[in-house]
Structure 1
Amino acid sequence: MAARLGRTIKAVLFQVHSIAGLVLALLLSLVALTGAIMSFEDEIVDHLNAGIMQVAPRQAPALMPDELVARLKAAQDLGKVSAVTLSSDPSAAVHVRFARDERGDRPTSLYVDPYDARVLGSPRGEAFFATVRRLHRWLLIPDDGKGWGRPITGTIALGLIVMLVSGLVLRWPRRAGSVKMWLKPNLGLSGRGLHRSLHTVIGTWVLPVYLTMTLTGLYFSFEWYKDGVTWLLARPHVTAAKMPAKPPRLANSGPVPSIGFDPAWTTFQREEGGRFSRALLTLPGGPGTTIRIRSWGKASLLETTRDEFRIDAVTGQLASAERFTDKTFGEKIIAAIYDIHRGAILGWPGKLAFMMAAILMPLFSVTGILLYLSRRKLRRAAQTPLGRLVPGE
Structure 2
Amino acid sequence: MKKKLMKTFGKLHLWLGLGSGLIVFIVALTGSIMVFEKEIDQYINSDFYFVSTIGKTKKPIDYCTDLLQKEYSVKKITRISTFNDPKRTLLIVGKDTDDQSIIFAFDPYSGKILGSVDQETRFFSIVLSLHRHLLLDDIGKLITGTSCLIFAFMLISGLILWWPKKIKNLKQRLTVKWGASFKRINWDFHSTFGFYSFLFLLTISLTGLVFTFDWFEKGIYYFADGTTKKLSNKVENPTKTDPKLNKTAFYQTIYNQADSIFDYQGNIQIRMPADTINSILVLKENVEKTIPFQSSAAYFDKYTAEIIESRPYENFSRGDKIRRLIYPIHSGSIYGYPTKIIAFLVCLFALTLPVSGFLIWWGRKKK
What is the TM-score with the length of structure 2 in the denominator?
Answer: 0.88
8 Å Cα contact 1:261/1:313 also seen in 2: no
Distance change (3 Å), C-alpha of 1:101 and 1:375: farther
Deviation at 1:308, TM superposition (A): 2.1
Q: Deviations over 1:51-97 (max 9, x none)?
A: 342253444x4333223211233333335221111234555321111
Q: Give the gaps of 5 or more residues in structure 2.
A: none
Q: What does residue range 266-277 of structure 1 map to in structure 2 within 5 Å?
A: 266-273=256-263, 275-277=264-266
Give the structure 2 partner of residue 291 of structure 1: 280
Q: Which amino acid aligns with 1:268?
A: A
Which segment is superposed worse, 193-202 or 159-168? 193-202
- Report what 1:214 is aligned to: 205
Tell me, what secondary structure is at the counterpart of 1:192?
A: helix
Q: CA contact under 8 A between 1:111 and 1:120: conserved in structure 2?
A: yes
Alignment check: 8 A CA contact 1:305 1:324 kept: yes
* CA displacement 1:198-221 (0-9 Å, x = unmatched): 211111111111100111111111
Question: Are the aligned partners of 2:237 and 2:302 in contact in 1 as well (CA < 8 Å)?
Answer: no
Letter of the structure 1 residue corresponding to residue 31 of structure 2? G
CA contact (8 A) 1:84 1:282 kept: yes
Match of 1:279 in 2: 268
- Structure 1 residue aligned with 2:123: 128
**3-state SS, counterpart of residue 304 of structure 2:** coil
RMSD: 2.9
Rounded to whole Å, the distance in 2 between the matches of 1:178 and 1:289 is 62
Question: How far apart, CA to CA, are the structure 1 residues paired with 2:291 and 2:39?
Answer: 13
Change (3 A) 1:246 1:58: closer
Alignment CA distance shift 1:138-1:359 (3 Å): same
Which residue in the other structure is 2:301 paired with? 312
**Secondary structure of the equivalent of 1:204?**
helix
User: How far off is 1:377 after superposition?
Assistant: 1.8
Which digits, 9 at most, give the CA deviation of each residue in 1:223-278, with x for residues without a partner? 01101101212475xx5344578847986xx67979852442232133135x2332
Assess if the C-alpha contact under 8 Å between 1:94 and 1:111 holds in 2.
Answer: yes
Q: Give the whole-Å Cα distance in 2 for the aligned partners of 1:205 and 1:69.
A: 51
Closer, same or farther: CA 376–329 of 1 in aligned 2, 3 Å: same
Alpha-carbon spacing, 1:365–1:129, altered in 2? closer, same or farther (3 Å): same
Q: CA deviation at 1:369?
A: 1.0
Q: Which moved more, 1:113-122 or 1:349-358?
A: 113-122
1:174 to 162, 165, 183: 165
Aligned residue number for residue 255 of structure 2: 265
Alignment-mate amino acid for residue 20 of structure 1: L
1:152 is matched with 143
Task: Return the alpha-carbon distance in structure 2 between the equivalents of residues 89 and 226 of structure 1.
Answer: 33
Matched positions, count: 362
Q: Quick one: distance in 2 between partners of 1:203 and 1:58?
A: 51
User: Is 1:51 the equivalent of 2:81?
Assistant: no
User: 1: CA distance between counterparts of 2:254 and 2:366?
Assistant: 69
Q: Which position in structure 2 is the counterpart of 1:12?
A: 8
Q: Distance in 2 between matches of 1:161 and 1:38?
A: 20
1:140 aligned onto 2:135: yes
CA distance in 1, matches of 2:68, 2:96: 18
Q: 1:192 aligns with which of 166, 172, 183?
A: 183
* Matching residue of 1:384: none
Q: Secondary structure at the match of 2:35?
A: coil
Report the CA distance between 1:100 and its aligned residue: 7.4
2:59 is equivalent to residue 69 of structure 1: no
1:27 counterpart residue number = 23
Quick one: percent identity of the two aligned structures? Answer: 24
Aligned to 2:104: 110
Q: Could you list the runs of 5+ residues in structure 1 that have no partner in the other structure?
A: 379-393
Is 2:358 the counterpart of 1:369? yes
Answer whether contact 1:264 1:291 (CA < 8 A) is retained: no
Residue 290 of structure 1 deviates from its aligned partner by 1.2
One-letter amino acid of the structure 1 residue matched with residue 307 of structure 2: L
Q: Which residue of 2 aligns with 1:391?
A: none
**Structure having the higher Rg:** 1
TM-score when scaled to structure 1?
0.82
Q: Is the 8 A contact 1:294 1:308 kept in 2?
A: yes
Which sits farther off after the overlay, 312-321 or 201-210? 312-321
Q: Report how far residue 322 of structure 1 moved.
A: 3.0
